Structure 1
Amino acid sequence: MAVLGLGFLKASLRRYTWSSVAFNLFTLALGVQWAIILDGFLFSFSSGKIIISIRRIILGTMSVMSVLISSGATLGKVNLIQLIVMTLLEVTVFQGTKKLTLTFLDGNEHQSMMQIHVFGAYFGVAMAWYFSGQRLNEAKEKEQRTTTSSLFTALGTLFLWIFWPTFNAALLDYPSEKETAVYNTYYALAVSSVVAMSFSAAAHSDGKISMNHVHRATLAGGVSVGVATNLIHSPWIAMVLGLLAGMISIAGAKCLPGCFNRVIRLHDTCEVHSTFGLPGLLGGLTYILLMVEQASWTNLSMVGFQILGSAGCLSLFLAMGLAGGALTGLILSFNLWKAPPAAKYFDDQAFWEFPHLAVGF
């Protein structure tokens, strides 16, 4: 999922495909090592040693997926050195936020890790604000999609679609919970896939389908059920979530870019806000509602504590994502990183050697 799925999902720009896939792998390889070290010191440090296991490697990989998500918002606008700094800072902030939720908000590991969608999306959105503005007009032509690059993105979407049920069930402890999570994720993904095409056609004046909408909304169902997938015990709830997530994702893809660009001059290259952020918020709110519905009302103080804890977990990851992204964007905006000029945005030639193109590009 992390290497192929998110790598090809971001390979949509016609002149930035090599960097999308290769930098995604580089970020993952670097981030997992750093995440395992941080996870060891924060959660499994014993007798002066860090305990490493398969589960710790899985947790490290899932932590770095927040970076892979947020990097889509700044795709094509940062260089490799900036990606290194971004990876180290974001993984640190995410691990610290997870430690806070487990220690003070009585959260569980599955709930905390499934907040990577909200955290990663809003971290990327906040960071992307520093790389937006009028100077993007110099590279606007390079941001166009082509049939080939859209096919690469479709490959990443399909790969993520296939493995998303396993991803949502990976950290659950009991086989019955894992089975429930797989079923619910599949129900939600199936509905959001239907909505992706039908709602995209309905939203077009000529009834045509946007492949960009299909790339984004197809995955929205899997994102929306991630946190609450083991609490959903009726298929219709998962299917309604997939329906709402698909519609919200397409509506966001149509409306938010124009609003952001005009009002706050924010440029989100891969639209991670509508792909991961909005469906992730929907999933977080659903988790709170399900906690209320399944709570035992004989102990009102415990119910109130559980509701506040769930709301606090979602709010903390959202707030830390925005604050961490804004701080990281400020740091990366300094000139010492030798960032590519705006004219070289969305261009592989700024980073890669092209022997077959001796003159021009």
Structure 2
Amino acid sequence: MPSKYRNFRSSVPWIILFLEVVLIILFYFLFSDDDDASGSTNSYPAFQDVNHMVIFGFGFFLTFLKRYGFSSTGFNLLIIVLGVQCSVLIEDLLVLLLQREYKDGLQRITKAAVSMTAVVISTGAVLGKANPVQLILMAVVEIIAFHMSRSINTTFLQVSDNISMMHVHLFGAYFGLAVSSHFSEPSPRTEKNASTPKSDLLSMLGTLFLWVFWPSFNSVLLVEEKTKAIYNTYFALAVSAVTAFVLSLLTAKDGKFRMTDIHSAVLAGGVTVGYAAHIIEYPWIAMILGLLASGTAVLGSYCLQRCLHPALKIHDTSGIHFTFGLPGVLGALAQVVLLVLKDWTKSPRLDYLVMIPIGAFCLTISVALITGFLTGVIVNLKLFKTIPVSKYFEDQFYWEFPHLAVGF
């Protein structure tokens, strides 16, 4: 094995260990746990659902590359467990600086796990191209930037905590795209940037887990309108799944379902309806949003992959733009329309009612793009040993394969 591989391998564990020691020290000084035992018990099912989503759901969701399954699930777990610790500390620091009331410990971990969705989505754009050190640096920078964006939205724009958290899809998608713009594009002839029936099946398993637990994700921070958010999310997801099958069949050249379309579009309804799930009065509205979201994901994949991404020199490995980015934009715009329709006769300042969510939406995307672009510059410095293009999408670059030694 070349020496640069040995050097890379010997540096990674010490970097991770150093980061963990720093986190332990910061927890000693900053973490304050004022738990309400009954509240923690009641919120545990919601935490469990979100934890299943980010670790199991997204872990398998990203296993579609035929030679990158170990790394997809393994690195996903690594950055989540490190990122949740960082997120909890950042949240505590913001509470201390802004003199807010502390939440119970379990709720803080739940919010940290939800926040990590942005990081997992972003890693999908550079899947197979970034090494573990680059992924960890991305995770730390992104979780700090996301908390800054949320804090500005909640403090200055008076956006509710739930809505500011639902910007996680937008932030993750556009941060990831900005970072990906600094990585070299793989050769279009490479066979490694592809899937197999087995890897597609594992990826679809992750999609199913995400689909099942998405209603909990959209309602986790709600108290009074939790039930409404749950059933609106379910109906949006159901119609989104049906539409994905329909459009996959209509757009396929051979008249057969394409797993890629199903994989990317069945979750789009949950992403779109997340902003307004708690204010939608009738299920048919959520169902329309699910239909539009799925159509945006399937049709957007054709347009973006063939037109926009090649023109901008952006290689989006997992298609996060049309799976999370575009449905997130649609959801933010739908929220504005629904707020106007609901309150236009009651509110004396309709322009104010519209500009607040639009301002929060623009701020989130702007912070994501700027910080993502800067992060992309930093992680591609020689210090972080950027992977050569010839080694993209390979587990063997990081993981031990004992069967290779005996000729299998």
The TM-score, its normalising length taken from structure 2, stands at 0.84
Counterpart amino acid of residue 221 in structure 1: G
Partner residue of 2:137 out of 85, 89, 114: 85
Q: Which runs of 5+ in 2 are unaligned?
A: 1-52
* Structure 1 pair 46–272 and aligned structure 2 pair: CA distance change class (3 A): closer
Alignment of 1:18-97 (within 5 A): 18-44=70-96, 53-97=105-149
Partner residue of 1:281 out of 320, 323, 329: 329
Say if 2:393 is the partner of 1:346.
Answer: yes
Alignment of 1:136-175 (within 5 A): 136-137=186-187, 140-174=190-224
1:188–1:238 Cα contact (<8 Å) kept? yes
Partner residue of 1:217 out of 247, 265, 281: 265
The offset of 1:130, in angstroms, is: 0.7
Post-superposition CA distance 1:5-48 (Å, at most 9, x none): 1110000000000000010010100000000000001125699x
Alignment of 1:242-281 (within 5 A): 242-281=290-329
1:126–1:329 Cα contact (<8 Å) kept? yes
Q: State the distance in 2 between where 1:154 and 1:82 align.
A: 27
The secondary structure found in structure 1 opposite 2:181 is helix
Say if 2:54 is the partner of 1:11.
Answer: no
2:184–2:389 Cα contact (<8 Å) kept? no
Residue 281 of structure 2 is matched in structure 1 by 233
The offset of 1:117, in angstroms, is: 0.5
Counterpart amino acid of residue 187 in structure 2: N
* Structure 1 pair 95–31 and aligned structure 2 pair: CA distance change class (3 A): same
Moved over 3 A (4+): 44-47, 49-52, 296-299
The secondary structure found in structure 1 opposite 2:372 is helix
Residue 7 of structure 2 is matched in structure 1 by none
* Structure 1 pair 299–217 and aligned structure 2 pair: CA distance change class (3 A): closer
The offset of 1:299, in angstroms, is: 4.1
Q: Which runs of 5+ in 1 are unaligned?
A: none
Residue 367 of structure 2 is matched in structure 1 by 320
* Structure 1 pair 229–359 and aligned structure 2 pair: CA distance change class (3 A): same
The secondary structure found in structure 2 opposite 1:297 is coil
Select between 322-331 and 70-79 the one with higher mean Cα deviation.
Answer: 322-331
Q: State the distance in 2 between where 1:115 and 1:61 align.
A: 14
* Structure 1 pair 158–51 and aligned structure 2 pair: CA distance change class (3 A): closer
Post-superposition CA distance 1:151-173 (Å, at most 9, x none): 01110000001000111011012
Q: State the distance in 2 between where 1:360 and 1:332 align.
A: 36
1:139–1:342 Cα contact (<8 Å) kept? no
The offset of 1:347, in angstroms, is: 0.2
Partner residue of 1:129 out of 171, 178, 181: 181
Post-superposition CA distance 1:212-247 (Å, at most 9, x none): 100010000100000110011111110000000001
Residue 357 of structure 1 is matched in structure 2 by 404
1:169–1:178 Cα contact (<8 Å) kept? yes
1:196–1:250 Cα contact (<8 Å) kept? yes
Counterpart amino acid of residue 154 in structure 2: L
Q: State the distance in 1 between where 2:121 and 2:236 align.
A: 20
The TM-score, its normalising length taken from structure 1, stands at 0.95
The offset of 1:295, in angstroms, is: 1.3
Residue 236 of structure 2 is matched in structure 1 by 188
The secondary structure found in structure 2 opposite 1:89 is helix
Counterpart amino acid of residue 145 in structure 1: S
Counterpart amino acid of residue 144 in structure 1: A
The secondary structure found in structure 2 opposite 1:151 is helix
Say if 2:166 is the partner of 1:114.
Answer: yes
Counterpart amino acid of residue 221 in structure 2: L
Q: State the distance in 2 between where 1:243 and 1:15 align.
A: 34
* Structure 1 pair 356–280 and aligned structure 2 pair: CA distance change class (3 A): same
1:260–1:267 Cα contact (<8 Å) kept? no
The offset of 1:210, in angstroms, is: 0.8
The offset of 1:319, in angstroms, is: 1.0
Post-superposition CA distance 1:197-216 (Å, at most 9, x none): 11111012222111010001
Query: RMSD between aligned alpha carbons?
Result: 1.9
Query: How high is the sequence identity, in percent, across the aligned residues?
Result: 44
1:340–1:350 Cα contact (<8 Å) kept? no
The structure that has the greater radius of gyration is 2
Aligned residue pairs, count: 356
Post-superposition CA distance 1:275-311 (Å, at most 9, x none): 000001010001111111111535423x322211111
